[in-house]
Amino acid sequence: MILQIDGLSHSELKKALASGEMPFLQRLVESEHYQLHPLYSGVPSTTPAAQGELFYGLKTVVPGFNFKPHDSDQLVRMFEPAAVTAVETRLQSQCPQALLARGSCYADNFSGGAAEPHFCPSSLGWGSALRDARPMILLTLIVSHLYSFVRCIALMLIEVVLAIVDFTRGLFFGNNFWAELKFIPSRVLIVILLRELATIGIKIDIARGLPIIHANFLGYDEQAHRRGPSSLFAHWTLRGIDDAIARIWRATQRTSRRRYDLWIYSDHGQEDVTPYQRAFSTSFAEAACEVFEKHLDCDCDIDCQTTAGSGIQLERIRMLGGKLTQAVFARLLANLNHKPQPPQIQSNARLSVASLGPVAQLYFNQPLSTFQRSTLARALCIETGVAAVLFLNSRGVIRVRRPHSEYNLHENPAALVGTEHPWPEMVYQDLKRLCAHPDAGVLIACGQHPQNGGHQPENPDNSAKMSLSFALENGAHGGWSSAQIDAFALLPNDITLQAQSGDCARILDLRCIALDFLKPRKTPDLKDLACSN
């Protein structure tokens, strides 16, 4: 039984345990002798990349949550069913041993080879197992879990009241009306409904004795994006997640079909950020397009496409499935996210900006020389206020452009991540894979500054001294700062988690011990025991 708390860093978990926000997890540590391990998430610090490591054993399976496939002209985001299916099909062809084979999964980005995926982008809603079930079976399911369904409805009503109160507070502090309004259904349906439905499904799977079950609790990550990872708003969701884990634990203790080990981990952390648009009164895509038009010798304006905007609020609700749900929220998203767009200029030059989080991938449909890349990278740092820009030169070497300097990344990785970063070498190895990824941008802009014990960035503009996100959010991940790659694993004390490479265990190491745990154990022969004695 592997449970993921999406977006909860090791440091924020320790705060939650110390303040009593997660009493059951604290009980696991104190009474059940669980051990809390730091875990390196990998770069990019996103759920698809982390689950690619865990489910298929492959690092940096995507360059980010938002990117442009090399064989497509369109930007994609990794909650879109077609995009997720395309990536997972490739992963399945590269890895013959999917972790979740013969098992089930809930609210995951990838299915991990699970026979029964539920509430995933590639399998919306309950999945085929329940959709195809006979009416009498569904009736029996509802009756046997009537208390859980009633409890779910009651919790949703309470959360609606809390969401409306928080909506009012948000308006009082000057937040955007539509941004606050659309967060109400996200808060209720993701934080409560999806969590409770997943918990019910997991308890059913435990009773059936499935060999492996994986579930992702999204509530904390959803709230942390909105208010910040250390906010009371985000930490409130941890109490409900802790209670759900406690109910799952009790179900594993009661079942007679199979003995379960319960493992808990996170895929990445989050960092407090300032939205780029709030700091500079324009979107990063617009600013980047101006830089390209100014510094490239183009005869006409450059056409720019981007998926940047309000982040991913409401998008995960589609995982609940159902034609009515899809229709309602597709229209709601269209209404709330609608912004007047200028007429598209038909030209041969096209810039695509995948800017969701603190790292932006920039794609240009025409070849750029190393000199042009360096020129554009310098201009992006100075004129748009980003902290650094990465690109490959003609020899495939990673170059880092800062406002007033440029160097090869391999010569000094700490100059990019900061002298206080705990694992600069591990980040460097992941950045090599990231920049060489076939779907990576020709330029990679970074909104996070190195961690140098209070050292201010080179750019003297005060607005550029803060960590930036290119989406409208107060908490972000996807980059390589110590807060974003700060994951954890909470495991029974008889499970040894060791780093196979690097200074810290990473999610790939968690996969290795999971596969070892799932190996069939040979029953010792009585004659062998007699001989050994």
Instruction: List pLDDT tens digits, range 239-295.
Output: 999 999 999 999 999 998 899 999 999 999 999 999 999 999 999 999 999 999 999
Residues facing residue 352 across a β-bridge: 305, 363
Task: Look at 497 and 314; give whichever has higher pLDDT.
Answer: 497
The whole-chain average pLDDT of the chain stands at: 85
Alpha-carbon span 162 to 181, nearest angstrom: 13
Task: Give the pLDDT of residue 57.
Answer: 97
What share of residues in the chain are helix, strand, coil (percent, to 5)? 45, 15, 40
The contacts found for 87-93 with CB under 8 angstroms, 24 or more apart, are 87/48, 87/52, 87/61, 87/62, 88/122, 91/52, 91/55, 91/56, 91/58, 91/61, 92/56
Lowest mean pLDDT segment, chosen from 274-288, 350-364, 455-469: 455-469
Alpha-carbon span 63 to 432, nearest angstrom: 11
Q: What is the pLDDT of residues 208-228, one digit of tens each?
A: 899 999 999 999 999 899 889
The pLDDT of residue 492 is above 80: yes
Alpha-carbon span 304 to 532, nearest angstrom: 73
Alpha-carbon span 485 to 271, nearest angstrom: 10
**136: which residues sit within 8 A by CB, 6+ positions away?**
none
Give residue 373's pLDDT band: very low, low, confident or very high (50, 70, 90).
Answer: very high
The pLDDT of residue 507 is above 90: yes
The mean pLDDT of 475-497, rounded to a whole number, is 96
Task: Look at 433 and 311; give whichever has higher pLDDT.
Answer: 433
Task: Give the pLDDT of residue 533.
Answer: 44
Q: How far apart are the first and last CA of the chain?
A: 35
Task: Give the pLDDT of residue 269.
Answer: 97
The pLDDT of residue 464 is above 50: no
Give residue 134's pLDDT band: very low, low, confident or very high (50, 70, 90).
Answer: low
The pLDDT of residue 395 is above 50: yes
Q: What is the pLDDT of residues 59-104, one digit of tens each?
A: 999 999 999 999 998 999 998 899 999 999 999 999 989 999 999 9
Task: Give the pLDDT of residue 176.
Answer: 62
Task: Look at 170 and 408; give whichever has higher pLDDT.
Answer: 408
Task: Give the pLDDT of residue 480.
Answer: 95
Task: Give the pLDDT of residue 390.
Answer: 97
